[in-house]
Structure 1
């Protein structure tokens, strides 16, 4: 059985570009959740305390599912659409999940 993958972190954009990036991320997230059965969760949100920062959280059934995600047509379209936006920094980590349990 494959272990789940969690991608988490942040991306910083020029403040004038952040909302545009978020609009594109909302669309790509919707398509990812609808079209990719290996995607368990996909959320990009504006950081309420930093006008540049977008918080990232993705959950995948396996590394293979994440790798396949990067080859989808909607990701290629997304990358083309956001190519002109200015990213100032990024810190993303992929975590392999060995075990999970419900929180109470």
Structure 2
């Protein structure tokens, strides 16, 4: 059985670019969740305390599912659409899930 993967972290954009990037990421997330069975969750959200920062959370059934995500048509379209919006900072980490339990 493949181990699940969680990608977490943040990406920074110029304050004037963040809203445009978030709109593109919202569409990318919708398409990813709808079209990729290996995607368990995909969320990019504005950090309320930093006008540049977008928080990242992705949950995948396996490393293979995450790798396949980068070859999809919708990720290629997304990258082309936002090519003019450079990141000014980034910290993203892929975590292999060893165990999970529900929290109450």
TM bracket (short chain): over 0.9
- Which residue in the other structure is 2:40 paired with? 40
- TM-score, length-scaled by structure 2: 0.99
User: Over the residues paired in the alignment, what is the CA RMSD in angstroms?
Assistant: 0.4
Unaligned ranges ≥5, structure 2: none
Matches within 5 A, 1:3-14: 3-14=3-14
User: 2-side partners of 1:86 and 1:76: how far apart?
Assistant: 16
- TM-score, length-scaled by structure 1: 0.99
Matches within 5 A, 1:41-80: 41-80=41-80
Which runs of at least 4 in structure 1 moved beyond 2 Å after TM superposition?
none
1:32-72 CA-partner distances (Å, limit 9, x unpaired): 00000000000000000100000000000000000000000
Alpha-carbon deviation of 1:87? 1.1
Alpha-carbon deviation of 1:86? 2.4
Query: SS where residue 24 of structure 1 aligns?
Result: helix
Unaligned ranges ≥5, structure 1: none
- Which residue in the other structure is 2:20 paired with? 20
